[in-house]
Amino acid sequence: MTREDHRHRHLERIAEVRAGRHAEKVGYPIQVRATEVVRTAMVGSGLLRVTLGGPGAQGFEAHAPDEHVKLIFPEPDGSLRLPEQNGTMLRWPRPSPTSREYTVRRYDPATAEIDIDIAPHDGGLASDWASAVEPGAVIHLAGPPGGLIVPHTYDRYLLAGDITALPAIARWLEELPRTAKGWAFIEVADATQEIELSAPDGFEVHWLHRGDRAPGTGDALARAVTGVTVPEGERLYVWAAGEAGQIKPLRRWVRDELRLDKADVGITGYWKRGVADFDDDH
């Protein structure tokens, strides 16, 4: 099967799932790309946007709000170890290269620009890099390996998360049909971290202010989300992401209270307090 045949097949599958009844992960042909930093800019006070472009960004695949790429960084000795192309997949060296995983906030095919929004924090590898990087610098990225394709046929959608989930939630709200209904709950430090969102008219957007509490602590997000009343007989899709421990109660809620099918839920720990490069395999 040629690369073009494979491309056509996965685009057809995405369209089928989007028009169906349940969410499904669909794989894309994966590449490793050498991209160039075009510019950086703050988005609110809580996110630093790195815009990547150059020839390596041409033909990038972007189909799902929470799809991700790995940014690949040099090793401590300065060497750069990259995965090798293996058909439509990648063969990764062992041990794995130093990398960090981020949501694709936006891809613009017209300009071949990729936006990655990073929540700055002291001592974070990607955060420190993004804060210091200059336009023209080269960064390699791998992926996305695929994405969770969610049908546009649900009656309502519930989106929730902290500042690390905000890029995905913002993209969700942009890409859902303008007739979509639901709720979005986003926990941020304060009003300076709130950003403009393009939500459908039928969405209620709730900003929750963390205040002086440390990121990833407290139950305000879980309490707000579980206070939602879903109209009788409506089909709901729930998507949540953030600190692994903070969103754990939501897993129990959708299972025990809402009794949703696994295909109607996407809950992912994006990070865990005290753990660098946390990987949630849920």
Give the pLDDT of residue 1.
Answer: 46
Give the pLDDT of residue 157.
Answer: 98
What's the count of helices (H) and strands (E) in the chain, helices before strands?
Answer: 5, 16
Residues 127 and 234 reside in one and the same domain: no
- What predicted TM-score, i.e. pTM, was given to this entire model? 0.93
Kindly report the CATH number assigned to the domain that includes residue 217: 3.40.50.80
Domain region containing 240: 152-271
CB 182 within 8 A of CB 162: no
CB 18 within 8 A of CB 111: no
Q: Domain count for the chain, please give it.
A: 2
The CA distance from 272 to 204, in Å, is: 28
- Residue at which a domain ends, from 131, 147, 163: 147
Residue 276 maps to a domain: no
Give the pLDDT of residue 282.
Answer: 32
- Residue at which a domain ends, from 147, 181, 206: 147
Residue 141 maps to a domain: yes
CB 59 within 8 A of CB 107: no
**Successive 10-residue mean pLDDT values, the chain, 282 residues:** 62 94 92 97 98 96 95 95 92 94 96 96 91 97 95 97 97 98 98 98 97 91 96 96 95 95 94 68 37
Alpha helices in 75-133 (DSSP H): 125-132
Residues 140 and 162 reside in one and the same domain: no
Give the pLDDT of residue 273.
Answer: 80
CB burial of 256-274 (b: ≥16 within 10 Å; e: otherwise) equals eebebeeebbbbbbbbbee
